[in-house]
């Protein structure tokens, strides 16, 4: 059992992301079922999650859930986070870990709203955590210890890959890995459409496209080679691949993806400024 095994973990707002995290925590042995609790909005959702994971799930009761936890995971939307922190702040303790999944909400605002001198982690997981292939970046405040950092790392490692970054880079993380699955889905969709145009059936085109993207990503990860090196291994002089790559370069695929990440980064920065203007100190 991991070092986090004896810790009590509460997930406040167990939607898709929060539920996926619970599944990873349990499957990865990060904590025992009796040590994991969650809160949701409706009794129906509570019953569903309780039956699925065998844990205690309540509709509401955020204060009680937070009070009994060592690690409080805030798996709520950015606009909801201030309300939740206002609800639970009087039962937060300095020895607890506060872990926020709310995109664009800076640690300074979380600290201000929590009104408690405590360890705060800010994480940006992406949607593939639901299949335990997520990419998560984590930033922390000055109160976090190496042991607490290891606990949080264990949680996210159970649902994919985790890296630690300085908080000012979280906007770029949001643009790259947070939004990145949407870009990749567009690529898969286009590959499928190309196969259809050239006469492949939808089922065949879909299977080939999805596996091509999955296999290519796995090859990058397992060989640790630069993608350009792997790309050149597919190319033969005067062959099919180089003619296709020329077409992609001509239409600016690389530049478009770089620009997309740049644009998304700036939008994330704007969202944070708006949240600080709305909820932060004047």
Q: What is the CATH number of the domain that holds 99?
A: 3.40.50.720
**Within-domain flag for 187:** yes
Q: Which of 156, 172, 188 is the last residue of a domain?
A: 172
Q: Please tell me whether residues 135 and 44 are part of one structural domain.
A: yes
- Mean pLDDT, residues 63-69: 95
Q: Please tell me whether residues 201 and 76 are part of one structural domain.
A: no
Q: Which of 172, 191, 212 is the last residue of a domain?
A: 172
Q: Please tell me whether residues 164 and 24 are part of one structural domain.
A: yes
Cα–Cα distance measured from residue 177 to residue 106, given in angstroms and rounded to the nearest whole number: 18
Residue 3 is predicted with a pLDDT of 44
Q: Please tell me whether residues 236 and 131 are part of one structural domain.
A: no
Edge to edge, the sheet with strand 120-124 lists: 56-59, 36-40, 9-12, 71-74, 97-100, 120-124, 134-140, 160-164
Q: How confident is the model at residue 267 (pLDDT cuts 50, 70, 90)?
A: very high
**Within-domain flag for 144:** yes
Q: Cα angle vertex 166, ends 145, 65, to 5°?
A: 50
Per-residue pLDDT tens for 31-60? Answer: 999 999 999 999 999 999 999 999 999 998
Q: How confident is the model at residue 1 (pLDDT cuts 50, 70, 90)?
A: very low
Q: Please tell me whether residues 73 and 209 are part of one structural domain.
A: no
**Within-domain flag for 245:** yes
Q: Please tell me whether residues 147 and 203 are part of one structural domain.
A: no
**Within-domain flag for 113:** yes
Mean pLDDT, the chain, rounded, equals: 94
Q: Please tell me whether residues 18 and 111 are part of one structural domain.
A: yes
Cα–Cα distance measured from residue 96 to residue 114, given in angstroms and rounded to the nearest whole number: 12
Q: State the total domains in the chain.
A: 2
Q: Please tell me whether residues 156 and 225 are part of one structural domain.
A: no
Q: Please tell me whether residues 148 and 212 are part of one structural domain.
A: no
**Within-domain flag for 25:** yes
**Within-domain flag for 276:** no
Q: Please tell me whether residues 84 and 122 are part of one structural domain.
A: yes
- Mean pLDDT, residues 99-114: 96
Q: Please tell me whether residues 95 and 112 are part of one structural domain.
A: yes
CB 152 within 8 A of CB 99: yes
Per-residue pLDDT tens for 10-28? Answer: 999 999 999 999 999 998 8
**Within-domain flag for 282:** no
CATH number at residue 218: 1.10.3730.10
Q: Which of 117, 139, 172 is the last residue of a domain?
A: 172
Give the pair of three-digit tokens for residue 200.
């492949």
Q: Please tell me whether residues 166 and 58 are part of one structural domain.
A: yes
Give the pair of three-digit tokens for residue 273.
């400024």
Cα–Cα distance measured from residue 100 to residue 107, given in angstroms and rounded to the nearest whole number: 9
Which residue segment(s) compose the domain that 242 sits in?
178-261
Give the DSSP letter string of the chain: --GGGGS-EEEES-SHHHHHHHHHHHHTTSS-GGGEEEEES-HHHHHHHHHHH-SEEEES-HHHHHHT-SEEEE-S-TTTHHHHHHHHGGG--TTSEEEE--TT--HHHHHHHHTS---EEEEE--GGGGGT-EEEEEEE-TT--HHHHHHHHHHHHTTEEEEE--GGGHHHHIIIIITHHHHHHHHHHHHHHHHHHTT--HHHHHHHHHHHHHHHHHHHHHH---HHHHHHHH--TTSHHHHHHHHHHHTTHHHHHHHHHHHHHHHHHHHHHHHHHHHS--
**Within-domain flag for 202:** yes
């Amino acid at each position: 059992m991991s070092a986090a095994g004896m810790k009590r973990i509460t997930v406040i707002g167990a939607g898709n992301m929060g539920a996926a995290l619970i599944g990873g925590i349990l499957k990865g042995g990060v904590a025992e079922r009796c040590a994991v609790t969650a809160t949701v909005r409706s009794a129906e959702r509570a019953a569903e999650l309780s039956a699925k994971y065998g844990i205690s799930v309540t509709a509401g009761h955020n204060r009680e859930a937070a009070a009994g936890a060592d690690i409080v995971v805030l798996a709520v939307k950015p606009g909801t986070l201030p309300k939740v922190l206002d609800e639970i702040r009087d039962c937060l303790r300095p020895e607890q870990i506060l872990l926020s999944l709310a995109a664009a909400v800076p640690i300074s605002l979380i600290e201000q709203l929590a009104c408690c001198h405590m360890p705060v982690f800010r994480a940006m997981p992406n949607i593939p955590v639901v299949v335990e292939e997520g990419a998560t970046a984590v930033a922390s405040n000055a109160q976090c210890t190496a042991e607490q950092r290891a606990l949080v790392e264990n949680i996210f490692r159970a649902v994919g890959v985790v890296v630690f970054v300085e908080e000012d880079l979280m906007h770029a993380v949001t643009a790259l890995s947070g939004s990145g699955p949407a870009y990749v889905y567009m690529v898969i969709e286009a590959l499928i459409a190309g196969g259809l145009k050239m006469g492949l059936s939808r089922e065949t085109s879909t299977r080939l496209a999805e596996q091509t993207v999955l296999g290519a990503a796995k090859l990058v990860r397992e060989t640790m080679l630069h993608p350009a090196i792997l790309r050149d291994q597919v190319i033969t002089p005067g062959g099919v691949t180089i003619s296709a790559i020329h077409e992609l370069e001509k239409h600016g695929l690389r530049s478009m993806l770089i620009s997309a990440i740049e644009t998304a980064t700036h939008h994330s920065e704007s969202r944070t400024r708006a949240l600080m203007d709305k909820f932060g100190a004047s």
